[in-house]
A and B are shown apart, each in its own frame.
Chain A
Amino acid sequence: MKVLVPVKRVIDYNVKARVKSDETGVDLANVKMSINPFCEIAVEEAVRMKEKGLASEIVAVSIGPAQAQETLRNALAMGADRGILIESDMDLEPLAVAKLLKAAILAESPGLVIMGKQAIDGDNNAVGQMLSALLGWPQATFASRIEVQGERAMVTREVDGGLQTLSVPMPAIITADLRLNEPRYASLPNIMKARKKPIDMKKTADYGVDLAPRLKVLKVTEPPGRKAGIKVESVEALVQQLKTAGVIG
């Protein structure tokens, strides 16, 4: 079974995003960029499936600037077999991303798509669900456990009240939550090997889909600030403050 894993290049998880002074967006100049953490978890899950003999080939797909090749190399170093970069300098909306991925998936015909549940830049949590709808494939989002049983995948999902398990026939779209696995660090030999793995360079125009934005970004601003309060010296003083603030009786 071929497994396809979409991956996104985003601001590094440990970097605090800063809004540009002209309020047009977040300043990404000279900021460390990395693979989106949820995408990394998706790659790890695919690699584990290959190690168990459940997957035969892993294709990583990214949509983004030329530098997103580094993101694909990261996936290749973890164990993906080849990459596809659909080059775009636009900040595409989830609808456009889902349409591009749909076209790429129809060309590749994977048996399963595993992807992150959201990217930590736009925080949309939308592409997996949209892709599933456009393809007419089943969806199992927010996965914390995936077990392949023949033609179906049993997916345990993190939901508001606890955990829910769904059984979906494959091909299907599964989106990864935080606790699906702990991604490995790529070893140096694997990083070297990844340099030789193929990356197919594509343009968005190759797929002939409508990418026009539907949302106009009017501005991007700082969130309202919250000032540090006071330090209290004792539990007794804390209780007194809470009573004064009227939050406890």
Chain B
Amino acid sequence: MSVLVFAEHDGAVLKDATHKTVAAALALGGPVDVLVAGANAGPIAALAAAIEGVRKVLLADSQAFSPPIAEALSALIVPLMADYDALLAPATATGKNFIPRVAALLDVSPVSEIIAIPGPKTFQRPIYAGNAIETVESMDAKIIATVRPTAFKAAGTSENAPIENLAIPAFNVATQFVGEELSKSDRPELASAKRVVSGGRAMGSAENFALIEALADRIGAAVGASRAAVDAGYAPNDYQVGQTGKVVAPELYVAIGISGAIQHLAGMKDSRVIVAINKDADAPIFQIADFGLVADLFSAVPELTRSLD
């Protein structure tokens, strides 16, 4: 089954989610090609060409894809799909934004957030905030799907595959990009970090989030937050871990002052080791934590940061 994988990048870095999506594509069969769309994206294409198992990279180098507007991506991808049996994109904000569009234009039912591929056209995906796992078999001629990156092991690197420059089709997009406010941080990216420290509503204020940041910086972790903490304005929206925020599965997840609502657990319960610090001994987070500490976070977190010196 020939598969086209959409490469996730920010113009400078090829995201690890791409390597994981290539792994899912290889599980479907092959050959696997990677599409890199962006402005001056040659260096990204070179990185994509080095992913193990990739046959070739298609490079759509154009300002029209920077940032990637769903309508523009669909106009590029729909004609390409004449040559492929499947299209996979990581289940990121970009992937979720354009994949259903491409599916509708090809009259295909998209499969969202696949976490396993038990058969050639059979997929597992979480539903009901991860409280159930649905196994579906596609009866469509083509597979159009998003892949939950945390569920797949990243493909490695190998010798460079060839890069093919695509002619950009003419299209008109009425949607205009106005601007963006991106969080700047020297910390690891939340979605792919090996360690994550998250704060919840019990942090009490945006200022108190400095306790979370200090611990995160001590152990080289990304910073996350529960929905309640983001809603309260203690942390920006892109910190949110959960059913509708980011799904993470680090080696170590430290949940601080987070009670453990279903929708938060949906975003972190596949972490290898979960630590919970909460003063409420009955908080649901303790039911899934490997190590729980019932304590006042305002004394326990600084002490933890100090003891990791």
Contacts and interface: CB of A to CB of B under 8 A. Distances in A.
Interface in A118-139: 118, 120-134, 138-139
A96 B181 CA distance: 36
Contacts of A142: 93, 97
Interface string B154-178: 0000000000000000000111111
Interface residues of B, number: 89
Contacts of B102: 133
A205 interface: no
Contacts of A222: 132-133
Contact of A165 (B71, B179, B293): B179
A221 B180 contact: no
B178 A167 contact: yes
A215 interface: yes
B294 A231 contact: yes
Contact of A19 (B132, B137, B176): B132
B82 interface: no
A239 interface: yes
A188 interface: no
A212 B300 CA distance: 56
A245 B231 contact: no
Nearest to A98: B104
B100 A130 contact: yes
Interface string B239-266: 0000110100001100000000010000
A166 B176 contact: yes
Interface of B: 10, 67, 69-71, 74, 92-94, 96-105, 107-113, 122, 126-140, 173-183, 191, 195, 219, 227, 230-231, 236-238, 243-244, 246, 251-252, 262, 269, 272-275, 281, 286-295, 300, 303-304, 307-308
Given A228-B286, A235-B304, 5 more contacts: A130-B101, A142-B97, A160-B92, A168-B175, A248-B252
